[in-house]
Each structure stands twice: as structure tokens, then as C-alpha cells.
Structure 1
């Protein structure tokens, strides 16, 4: 394999820390596999390349025309940043769908955490890639399960796990099978009159996750003395908070934003399913970076506590800092979080006076008022 320096890669603008790196052995195994059979770059699609390690290593080896899909906007920005720093080019970015996969004979995949996301990807490859396409999926052994093989076997005639190397393993799926007329996603569920829609990569799918339910219950006590309040659902997921607020406050101007393209696609479907697509703006963005400072009267926040497969408070703290930037003086952020996390201290420091609204055995809901 060409001597590509993976250590030169950064996660920026995502959270960076000594125990978090921008590549792993799985990336290296996928690159080595792709360089073996001599498939030209314009017949290669890469999915789930978190910070550009696979794409940049292949481009650095001389491949051109590679098509890339990254779900997270932070990953897209990291790829661009790393490419500029290394002076490497040779790929195009695509949203998930037929445009990404048409003509592809080799699809490289960093295995997602959710089986639903893997199901959606496997279906898409079998549906839109070439009839002789091969999907090579890799992951860290500790996160891999036999259920992943079973999902792949529903869309491919041959599924061959490879020997593990450096605590990573590849699964090679070939001979795509016939697919149903309609794709399996998005899925829909109705919760007390609220319809949630979800594509495979959306957190919790079309279910109403426990933390969101706790915050929705607490929001019944929320009353803003503002005409046409400007409201931001920061890290919106499938859009439950934004949709519920828009339905109960028809005069509000609501923006739902998330860094996940799958979440944004899901939230847009949610708004349409509830008849409010014209009243809620859904955007793909990193921590509301494209929204103006001091523009929101209210921020709704259910921050994540994972970065990929790692438990880390950094993602949640970035959203708390973003909420502080977005709020007008006197504006409020209502936050739900796992009670063991130290988010209340961060909210008090970065936003302002913070009080507990409610607490369950697992979750805490707080109200923070932006200091002047």
C-alpha cells in the first residue's frame, strides 16, 4: 500500500482530544482492499468515511473520480480541511442516493452503528450500483455482530467475513439480489398524534426516545412572553421537538438543524407528515454555525453523549456553547440530558442562570436564561 501518512489527518472542526483520532485500522484495510483489484476511481463509492482517511488515501494513490458520501457535515468539512492541508484532490461529494451509486462496482463502507442504517445502505447498493457490484464493509471487531452479516445477506447472495487484522475486520458482500419496488426507508410511527419519520441513520429511528419524551412533557410548562418567538431545535434528529413546538405554537418561527444528513432528511419528512413543512425550516449545519448570533428567543436541546463509538461529553458541550451564542439576552435554552453528565455546570457557565425543571431516574431537564 502506498505510504500515505494517516497520522497527518485531523478531526477538525469536530471535537479533538488526545484519545480521539481521525482514522483507524479499518480505514487502512479498506484502502488496501480497494487498491488490490484495479477498479478505476470513477467506479468506486465511499460511504461513512468519517474524516476523509479512505478517500484521501485512495486519491493520494492516484485514483480519481471517487464518489463520497459522509452523513455528518463535520466529516465533510474535515475531509475538505485535510485535503487542503495535504494538497490532495480526486473525488466528488454526493448526497445519499442513486447519484452516489450509479455505475459503482466497488463500494467501501465504514460499518455504521445502527442496523437500520446498514439495511438502508445495503438496499441502496443492491438497488442502484452495478449488477456485479461488491460492497466491502469494515469495522472494529468489538463493535461487529452476526446481525450485520444477516442484514447484508438479505441484499447479497454471497457474504464473506474476512480474517481480523489489528482488531478490525472486513465483510465482503457480492452478487446483489433483487430488491423490493420501494426502498425500506423512511419508516413512520405516530406518537400521541405526532408523526415521526426516519431514514436508517437517524438516532432512535421513528421511535420517540426517552429523553425527548421527558423534554416534551416538561415543555408543557414553557411560556415565552414573546410575539412570534424565534425557536431553534439544535441537534434536531428526526424533528420531534421542532414539530411538537410548531404544532402547539402556530405563530412561532422554528428552525430545526442537525449535522447529520440522515437526520435532516428525516426531519423534513416529519414536517411534511405533520403538515408543517412550510412553517419549519430544516437545515444541515454543525452546531448552528450558519445561524446568526443572538437571533433566538428559545433553543431546544437534547444533546448527544457519544462521538461515534466513544462516550464523550464534547459534542454536548459544543451544542451548549452554540446555544449560548444563538440566544438573545434573556432568551432561554431548555435542555434534557442524562443526569450523570455535568451539563448543568456547563449551562450555568456558558449560558447563564440554570434551574432544574424536572428530573426522572435517568434524565434531567433544565431551563437556562441567557445573561445580558
Structure 2
């Protein structure tokens, strides 16, 4: 099958009529970088933030490139890229790597989907300036509604030259070159001590809520004491920076604790949080698509503060998938503790996917429930 942007799928991420695997910014980034890409090899090309493979496979197809290095934060993005590459016969054109030196060493062209967070952009720009070839050019694109002048300033902190292309189909590309010398110390992860928890929270820029304590997690923390005294194991599902996992491990030294998230930034943040609190030997942190790697009926309790959106689109599919996974891995009589925006009214879904569900607490915005596996 010949590659076409129109053939790209999001699977195994959520598929819906209002969710797309490619947009105009993907096409524009590939077009704007076309001349530069024609002058470098695939191994000198790096793609960062590719959502479902449009950038990586667009470059591979157009330039017959191999050895492209690609980084995606979400595991489902990596899996979708692999699926799309297989369908197009381009599975040998790239390799996936984490954000860091191996990804960027010697890179001469970097294609980047602009992240929403300025801190994420700052981290990426800093790493490119540190490790890429001195001649590197960065093509960073996105939808105009999400691009701000502050992004030029952030890129300008790591590159001497930053310019913007003409807009096309409500998209634009920022082009950065001439990397500046970087300080010896890396600025991330950030760390913040929360006296109310007695915990230090560490975060890389891509992790939800950063070093702060989001209000949903704060509410769920009030109910950790209701985890069954007979429980031997607990999973923090969608762990983010690992606050729930660290808190339950601190409260219950008898528990075997697993923290899991599909975001690489979240996983690295959670590991840093455990290290900062002396819990690295007691809490295992893994990158996983939900609980795909966990066997059936294998844990006594699950803690979950699920997302209620996919990207910028409100969508319940991710939360329902997490509830389904929790129901599968819980032992009979096991407990799922979850917090969610009250208007989402997940109780019927939790009863269907896990078992009998009780409301433990409710405030102006959030509901905390416990569901018991049948």
C-alpha cells in the first residue's frame, strides 16, 4: 500500500468522527522542511511530537528515507505509528527513542509538532541545542490558534535565528537555527515540596499538572485510608507525576505499589518523584497502555484519576478504557478508587465495567467512588 496522509489511523488511540490522525500542520511542516530534508540523510533527521506518524512517514515516503529517529510521548502514538508504518510498508524507515542525547546526536533537521506548554518547548529546544549538529534547523509547526509570540521567545533562548513561515490552512511553522551554547546544568525535572503531603513532587514539562497538586488528586487522597487493610498490592493507573503512588506507599509500607502511565514524561516524572522521597525501591514505575502488560485478576486495588479529554477534545473514551482495564486486573473483591468531574456521572459505567459502585465523597466539582470487583 502506498503511503497517503488520508490512510493514517489513530488506533490503538481513541477513534471517533471528531478525532483525526493528521491535520494541516503536519502537511505544512513536511512541505516547509522539504528542501532541507533533500540535503540530509534519514539518520540525520529527527521527528519530535509526531502524533500518529504523519511527520515520520511523510518524510520517509517523500524522501525514501531510512534511519529517521522519532520521539513520541504517548505510547499509543508509538503504537499508531507502528501500525501506520506497517500498513504503508515503511516499518523499517524509523526507530523510536526517548527524548535525550541518543535521539538528537548529530541531527541536522528536526521536525517538531509544537507542544501546548512553553515549558515543554523550552525543554525540547534546550535538548536540541545541546545535542544536535551545530548546523541543525528546526521546523516547529502547529495550528495558528495554539501558536503564541511567547513560543518565538522560548525558541530564541536556545537559537539565535527564529522566523515564521506564511500561514496555510490555519497553520504555521516556526523555523529555528544557529543553536546557542547551553549551560552545563539541565533545567529539568523541577521539584516542589508539598508540606501537606510530606512529599516532594518532581516533574518534567510534559507531565500533567507539573509539580503542583491538581484538585482532583487532592480530593482522592482524602480516601486512601479506605483501601482494604487486607490488600497486598495497589496500582496507580495513569499515575502522572506519581503522587497517589507515593502517598499510598508512604501510608502503607506493607503494600506492593505499581505506578503506570502511557506518557514517557509522566513515567520519568514519577520515577523522579519516587527517588526524591526515598521510595524508588518500593514503587515500580512502568510505561504502559493502560494496564495492557498486567495479567488478569492480579491486583487488590487500583487508584485512578482519569483524563476527560484527548488532546484538546473532551472525550470519555480514555477513562472508560482505564476502567475496563481496572476491572480486568482486579481480583474478585478488589477495589477501584476513582475521582472524576461530577457532571460526567461515570457511576453506571463503573458498575458495568467493574462492579457495585459507591460514592465516597462529592464536592462542588468532583466525585470520588469505590467500585468492588464482582
Q: What is residue 204 of structure 2 aligned with on the other side?
A: 199
Number of residue pairs aligned between Structure 1 and Structure 2: 367
CA distance in 2, matches of 1:104, 1:26: 22
Whether the 8 Å contact between 2:237 and 2:322 is mirrored in structure 1 is yes
Q: What is residue 12 of structure 2 aligned with on the other side?
A: 13
Q: Deviations over 1:288-332 (max 9, x none)?
A: 100111111110000011211212111111111111111111111
Q: What is residue 93 of structure 2 aligned with on the other side?
A: 90
Q: What is residue 32 of structure 2 aligned with on the other side?
A: 33
Deviation at 1:172, TM superposition (A): 0.7
Q: Deviations over 1:36-84 (max 9, x none)?
A: 2222211110001111111111111201211101111101111111111
Within a 5 Å distance, the mapping from 1:1-372 to structure 2 comes to 4-37=3-36, 38=38, 39-61=40-62, 62-88=64-90, 89-192=92-195, 193-220=198-225, 222-226=226-230, 229-371=232-374
Please give the secondary structure, in 1, of the residue aligned with 2:15: coil
Please give the secondary structure, in 2, of the residue aligned with 1:64: coil
Deviation at 1:113, TM superposition (A): 1.8
Deviation at 1:92, TM superposition (A): 1.4
Q: Deviations over 1:150-177 (max 9, x none)?
A: 2111111121122211111111111111
CA distance in 2, matches of 1:342, 1:52: 34
Q: Deviations over 1:225-281 (max 9, x none)?
A: 315x21010000010000100011001001000000110011011111110101111
Q: Which runs of 5+ in 2 are unaligned?
A: none
Please give the secondary structure, in 2, of the residue aligned with 1:84: helix
Please give the secondary structure, in 2, of the residue aligned with 1:317: helix
**TM-score (normalizing by structure 1):** 0.96
Please give the secondary structure, in 2, of the residue aligned with 1:347: helix
Whether the 8 Å contact between 2:67 and 2:93 is mirrored in structure 1 is yes
CA distance in 2, matches of 1:90, 1:292: 33
**TM-score (normalizing by structure 2):** 0.96
Please give the secondary structure, in 2, of the residue aligned with 1:367: strand
Deviation at 1:359, TM superposition (A): 1.3
Range with bigger deviation, 85-94 or 65-74 = 85-94
Q: Pairwise CA RMSD of aligned residues?
A: 1.2
